Amino acid sequence: MNKKLEEKLKRFSELQELVVDPKIISNPQEYKKYAKEMSSLQKIVSKYNEYKKIVDEMTSLEAVIGDTAQEKEFLELAKDELGSHKITTDKLQKELEELLLEKDENEDKDIIMEIRQGTGGVEAALFAHDLFRMYSRYAARKGWKVETMSASVTEKGGFKEVIFSVSGDGVYGNFKYESGTHRVQRVPATETSGRIHTSAATVAVLPEAEDVDMEVKPQDLRIDVFRAGGRGGQHVNVTDSAVRITHMPTGLVVSCQDERSQHKNKAKAMRVLRARLFDKLTQDQNKKRSRDRKLQVGSGDRSEKIRTYNFPDRRVTDHRIGFTKHNLEDVLNGALDEFIAALREAGRKERMK
């Protein structure tokens, strides 16, 4: 652990020099990148310096205690202080371990969320809408901003697909465990016999990439414009405002047509594309994470579930950690704190192993 902490201390010193370098200051993107990294290291570096200071004091106290020429009363005081320092260093060591384990480089990033209709037809699309509302209300409770990027709405008011961004402090750190297949069990409004149906929707959470995270080359993009279709009032199908961007090296395609302005649609599509590319890059760099994400997101099939929302029993169960609450209405209204806290703690324990 000390080796990792020394590396972070060294990096913090390097960053302190970089942020006062005139060349860096003159480049806003570079300056922002280094200032953000320095800020993320501030807490652990301060804690480590405190730990090192007390360890040095303990070394001095041990030298005093080892000096038999010292007065007995003075030696007793030194022993008491040493005992107190040991308690403090044990506490600081645990805090440092947790800081090293819990800090995800994407923890404080904004996110792009994608919710898609899975198994279950009309009812699955309605459930996708319920999930969008749940996350929007949770974000509102946290004081975060939600912006719809793209939406494909069904005739009944559900979503075939909805893509939206969430921005604020610590957004990805709270939402990252929501990726996966969510299942609902309830009697649909269209069901006359009262039978309970099971439907599913998939959720993907992507950390939003900044310009400093990766470069998207203009020559790698094919940008097509076309007339928007579906709902949208008198301006739909009047101008070529919809935008489709294809990233040719990877084959990733993003379309956006919700805005009346071609420029705004292009900007939104680029944000989604950048997030998907950043997620793909991260997966390629970490094979384990890639396997986990594949298992979580799945295809929308009912068998690949991470959480079930059971209406008859007012029950919500997260199957990854066996966590159940009987407050379905509250959860769907954005009361996700208990689930997210339990998932974060389970993730911390897993990394501690």
CATH number of domain containing 199 = 3.30.70.1660
- Amino acid 194 reads G
79: pLDDT strictly greater than 50:
yes
Lowest mean pLDDT among 241-245, 295-299, 312-316: 295-299
Strands 221-226 and 111-117: unpaired
pLDDT given at position 290 = 44
Question: Do residue 167 and residue 269 come from a single domain?
Answer: no
d(CA 345, CA 275): 26
Q: Please tell me whether residue 311 adopts helix, strand or coil conformation.
A: coil
Question: Do residue 229 and residue 261 come from a single domain?
Answer: yes
20: pLDDT strictly greater than 80:
yes
323: tokens are 């966590």
CA 83 to chain centre: 41
73: pLDDT strictly greater than 80:
yes
Closest of 299, 285, 123, 106 to residue 205, by C-alpha: 106
Question: Do residue 296 and residue 337 come from a single domain?
Answer: yes
- Residues β-bridged to residue 113: 164, 205
Report the CATH number that the domain containing residue 232 is assigned in CATH.
3.30.160.20
pLDDT given at position 146 = 96
Count of structural domains, the chain = 3
Asked which of 76, 102, 128 is the last residue of a domain, the reply is 102
Question: Do residue 228 and residue 192 come from a single domain?
Answer: no
Strands 307-310 and 221-226: unpaired
Question: Do residue 177 and residue 326 come from a single domain?
Answer: yes
pLDDT given at position 302 = 38
Residues in the chain: 353
Asked which of 284, 310, 334 is the last residue of a domain, the reply is 284
CA 182 to chain centre: 17
Question: Do residue 279 and residue 290 come from a single domain?
Answer: no
Question: Do residue 170 and residue 240 come from a single domain?
Answer: no
d(CA 150, CA 159): 11
pLDDT given at position 239 = 64
211: tokens are 């310009």
Question: Do residue 293 and residue 198 come from a single domain?
Answer: yes
Over pLDDT 90: what percentage of the chain? 50
Per the prediction, the chain carries an average pLDDT of: 86
Question: Span 289-304, mean pLDDT?
Answer: 44
User: Residue 246 sits in which domain range?
Assistant: 218-284
In the chain the beta strands, taken as DSSP E runs, fall at: 111-117, 145-153, 159-167, 180-186, 197-207, 221-226, 242-247, 252-256, 307-310, 315-318, 323-325
235: pLDDT strictly greater than 50:
no
Question: Do residue 260 and residue 159 come from a single domain?
Answer: no
Question: Do residue 183 and residue 294 come from a single domain?
Answer: yes
pLDDT given at position 38 = 92
pLDDT given at position 297 = 40
136: pLDDT strictly greater than 70:
yes
Question: Do residue 196 and residue 294 come from a single domain?
Answer: yes
Lowest mean pLDDT among 100-109, 220-229, 231-240: 231-240
pLDDT band of residue 118 (cuts 50, 70, 90) is: very high
Question: Do residue 242 and residue 323 come from a single domain?
Answer: no
pLDDT given at position 292 = 46
d(CA 143, CA 239): 36
pLDDT given at position 310 = 97
Asked which of 81, 102, 123 is the last residue of a domain, the reply is 102
